[in-house]
Amino acid sequence: MAYIELEDVTKRFGVVTAVDRLNLSIEQGECVAMLGPSGCGKTTTLRMFAGFEDLDGGEIRVGKRIISSKKTHYYLPPEDRNFGMVFQAFAVWPHLTVYENVAFPLQIRKLPKAEVQARAEEALKHTNLFHVRDSSPEDLSGGGKQRVALARALAIRPDVMLLDEPLSSLDPHFREEMRFEIKDLQRRFNHSILYVTHDQSEAMALSDRILVMRLGVVQQVGTPLEIYGAPANRFVFEFIGLSSFLQVALRDGRMEVGGASYAPPLPPPAELVVQGGAWLAARPNEIAFTAEGGVRATVLRKAFLGEVMDYRVAVGDAEVRVQTSRRDPGPAVGEACGLVFERPRWYPLAE
């Protein structure tokens, strides 16, 4: 049985359903990232889990405890859930030292002074803050302040860690550094983590599984590789990673686009052929240039992005993005070319 269970969890704000019958199981020691655009319901879900919002439907269980249930009208206050939470804002107190920030929640719980000191110092050592224990958080970098918030959450020895976009306020260097530190802490303490983010690379790097949401509805749950390589629908494909789309007509096993007809390397599903048209979708690095044949196109723009060359290519009235190795010779701006879609995916026009 899973350590954490969210069963048909629902939240409404007036006529708007922010979270619609969400079901999710999380194992002990597993990190699940909730990913989606702004307003999709991920933070609302985290707030219900933390106890900051009550449920309008469903039930949440952790271990053998029910912590929220609409069925039995049970609600456990946030302070009794024993969850560690780290917010987007650093939420550290500038008038307290680093040690005092970490020790404060333990003192509120009226733990013995020796235990407060032992737990706070242990958390500071695990987050590489022990050497600045007497400093003000204002003397630390953004990454240092977020470490203080992590240490404070770890010091209470939480049953679950909840992280709400904790790295979005950091610059890219500190953000990457903190990803590894959070992952190391998870492995060390075997915490279950519910991690809210809109950053795809963060979700891919940190999580064991990713939950993708849209308008309060779960679109797909899977490993980072499954989400990227086998998206459940067009929204997931378009939201995760870079993507290009072409609207094509389908007739007699061929596709028509840009005024010409082509035989695709991987044929579309029969049900889309019957409908007479579809969206052809592909990753920019899964489209290749060809001197002869292929879908005819014209290069509009070309940019050097380090290890890749990034092209914007016109196919009829549509624009397609293509990325190749910087070492591969490619067409010049304004030059006609052919495109081969090496791993096309097909989606209904209605999606």
Domains, the chain, ordered by start: 4-238 (3.40.50.300), 242-347 (2.40.50.140)
Reported as a single tens digit per residue, the pLDDT across 235-264 is: 999 999 999 999 999 987 788 887 778 887
The angle, 0 to 180 degrees and rounded to 10, between the axes of the packed helices 142-155 and 98-108 is 30
Mean pLDDT across the chain: 90
Confidence band (pLDDT; 50, 70, 90) for 322? very high
Beta strand 260-262 pairing with 254-257: antiparallel
pLDDT for the residue numbered 192? 93
Whether 266 has a pLDDT exceeding 90, the answer reads no
Q: pLDDT value at position 184?
A: 86
* pLDDT at residue 260, rounded to an integer: 77
User: What's the pLDDT at 18?
Assistant: 96
d(CA 171, CA 60): 35
At which residue do the structure tokens 């550290």 appear? 92
CB 309 within 8 A of CB 324: yes
Q: Among 89-93, 152-156, 202-206, which stretch is predicted with the lowest mean pLDDT?
A: 89-93
- 90-112: average pLDDT: 90
Per-residue pLDDT, averaged over 185-191, amounts to 87
Asked whether the CA dihedral 224, 228, 230, 233 is positive or negative, the reply is: positive
Q: Above 90 in pLDDT, residue 92?
A: no
In this predicted structure, what is the pLDDT of residue 91? 81
Position 21 pLDDT exceeds 90: yes
Closest by CA position to 285, among listed 314, 246, 320:
320
